[in-house]
A and B are shown apart, each in its own frame.
Chain A
Amino acid sequence: MRFRERIYIALTGLTVVIIIGLLGFILFDIVKNGISVISWEFLSQPPKEGMTKGGIFPALYGTLIRVLLMLIFVVPTGIFTAVYLNEYGKGFELSRWIRIAINNLSGVPSIVFGLFGMGFFVLFLRLGAGLLSAALTVGILTLPVVVTSTEEALKSVPNSYREAAFALGATKWQVIRTVVLPQALPGILTGAILSIGRAAGEVAPLLFTGVAYYLPYLPSSIYDQFMDLGYHIYIMTTQSFNIDATRPIQYGSILVLLMLTFSINVVAIFIRSKIRRRSIR
């Protein structure tokens, strides 16, 4: 009977192997087919000749600008929400509801965010379809990521630090500003980085909030339309004029997107594990 159990255990171990194998295969396939396309020109030139030549610069630019704009909104909101949950609002009914809300936001499908972005930011607030609407929409989508990371970071700040500061006569906000937040900075950073990674890869929320397949100019105001790496790939692979000819560019673009989100996530995980190891000591 013990032998049979070894087989069962081996089978569950096999699932781990399969999962990691699939992950590796996806990475391998994309890197192998896309690496030859990557070059400085590819990253810095706009697309030419119907996307069969040239580069992806405007799409890359659009993605980065959108994400940076989003950070301006989501990082302070996320930090203060976490600060409320952990420092001010413990035990209050409001905290419970905020948590429920955050939990639910993290489960809302991205297309629903897209609909909301259109209905609220683009139409109701009349911000129009452009960078600002898109950035705000994606910001709400990634809010839970920032809140969760920041809250984890705040929780890990030992209470003794707070008590010492209070005992020295600091007000609550001073304690938070001068002791807690600086101590929690790595965790906050992790959250911000994770939100970048998440937002860079999201396409559905952009569909009705301002993304475009080809623009002859770079967006110069926050109300302008913009291009996006993920959207570019989607259209290229499904609807472009000559799908086979654009194939190399597709692979190259996918590789860039993957590298972007992957390295961002790896950096965040690295920082996070360093924090955890530090606090154990």
Chain B
Amino acid sequence: MEIKERAIYLLITIIASIAILSVILIFVFIAKEALPVLFNPEIRKEANLRLFFSTWDWQPVGLEPKYSFLPLIVGTLKVTLVALIVSLPLSIGAALFTAEFLPRNLREIIKPIIELFSAIPSVVLGFFALMNIASWVQGIFHSVSRLNAVTAGFALAFAVIPITYTICEDALNAVPRELREASLALGATKWQTAVRVVLPAASGGIFAGVMLGFARAMGETMIVLMVSGNAAQITLSLLDSIRTIPATIAAEMGEVAFGSPHYATLFFLGLILFSVTFIVNYVASILIERTQSRLRGGK
């Protein structure tokens, strides 16, 4: 009996470790295909770190392959910027409203409705953007192309809003009731309490929500594939077509020769993407943990 229990315990522990194993494997197997870019002299002749960051064109297919990450980084940043500009005021404002100014029973209805946004697959958002947002953007901004960073950023915002909203709302809600009471008892209004006491107290969680929204915007693939115009170029205007890192990987991996410099470069891009989102995620979770214990703790 005892042996059986021990065996079950061991089995469950091993299964539970699959999560850890997965993260490690993801890193290992992406790095494995990406490392030739750093270490294999054959590969490095065509694609190497210096080229990635000091040249200007991304044209891996052609007579003279060109591998610059800069257009891709610029594209990713543009689209993320637009997404955050659109989504942050909306999600933080909505979180503040639901957590502080809505009566309990309404909050139970409104919160799930907003969170339902996350049930929309990104392909659907991309499609909606293609059908509607692209034309709006062109109409309002008179841009040359319908498919550009603004269109994609707008659609991305729809994907980011539920994430940021949920985390910020949870953070605001976690602020203990006693702090609000103390503030109101001092003669502060509800608004003053919300903005001067609750919001600052939840600031760690809110920042974490922003970070996670940022990571999501940066890593999103399908929306960008469908509406960003897929042009790897470095320009200042947000109304130009762009290429992001995830879209590049998605669009080009299908046509690439196994083991080629292009192949390794795409994996290297994946490695960068993974590392950045990993770090952002890690920092965000520490922030959330620290805010929670700070509010609950004390002597």
Contacts and interface: CB of A to CB of B under 8 A. Distances in A.
Judge: A and B partners, yes or no: yes
A259 B190 CA distance: 40
B53 interface: no
A265 B115 CA distance: 10
A219 to B, nearest CB: 19
Interface stretch (B121-129, B176-184, B290-298): B121-129
A9 to B, nearest CB: 6
Interface in B1-48: 1, 4-5, 8-9, 11-13, 15-20, 22-23, 25-26, 29-30, 32-33
Contacts of B254: 207-208
Contact of A81 (B19, B97, B282): B19
A16 B94 contact: yes
B285 interface: yes
Contacts of B158: 22, 26
A143 B25 CA distance: 15
Of the four ranges (under 10, 10 to 19, 20 to 34, 35 or more), the interface on chain B belongs to 35 or more
A104 B250 contact: no
B96 A12 contact: yes
Interface stretch (B138-146, B234-242, B269-277): B269-277
A16 to B, nearest CB: 5
Interface in B106-164: 108, 110, 112-128, 130-132, 158, 161
Interface string A63-99: 0000000000000110011011100110000100110
Nearest to B21: A101
B222 A234 contact: yes
Given A103-B285, A171-B5, A233-B123, A111 B273 contact: yes
B203 interface: no
Contact of A20 (B114, B132, B281): B114
Contacts of B71: none
A116 B97 contact: no
Interface residues of A, number: 81
B120 A262 contact: yes
A238 B19 CA distance: 36
A11 B195 CA distance: 14
A74 to B, nearest CB: 10
A114 to B, nearest CB: 7
Contacts of A19: 90-91, 94, 114, 117, 161, 165
Contacts of B73: none
Interface stretch (B60-68, B77-85, B212-220): B212-220
A104 B101 CA distance: 33
Given A109-B220, A237-B226, A262-B116, A202 B97 contact: no
A29 B285 contact: no
A20 to B, nearest CB: 6
Contact of A13 (B15, B26, B101, B282): B101
Contacts of B15: 76-77, 80-81, 84
Given A29-B132, A147-B19, A204-B221, A115 B101 contact: no
B267 interface: yes
B13 A105 contact: no
Which one of A23, A94, A266 has the highest number of Cβ atoms from chain B below 10 Å of its Cβ?
A: A23
Contacts of A201: 120-124
A112 B124 contact: no
Given A11-B93, A85-B16, A204-B246, 14 more contacts: A9-B190, A14-B93, A105-B23, A106-B281, A107-B215, A108-B278, A112-B219, A143-B18, A201-B120, A203-B222, A204-B222, A208-B254, A237-B226, A269-B116
Interface of B: 1, 4-5, 8-9, 11-13, 15-20, 22-23, 25-26, 29-30, 32-33, 89-91, 93-94, 96-98, 101, 108, 110, 112-128, 130-132, 158, 161, 165, 189-192, 212, 215-216, 218-222, 225-226, 246, 249-250, 253-254, 266-267, 270, 273-274, 277-278, 280-282, 284-285
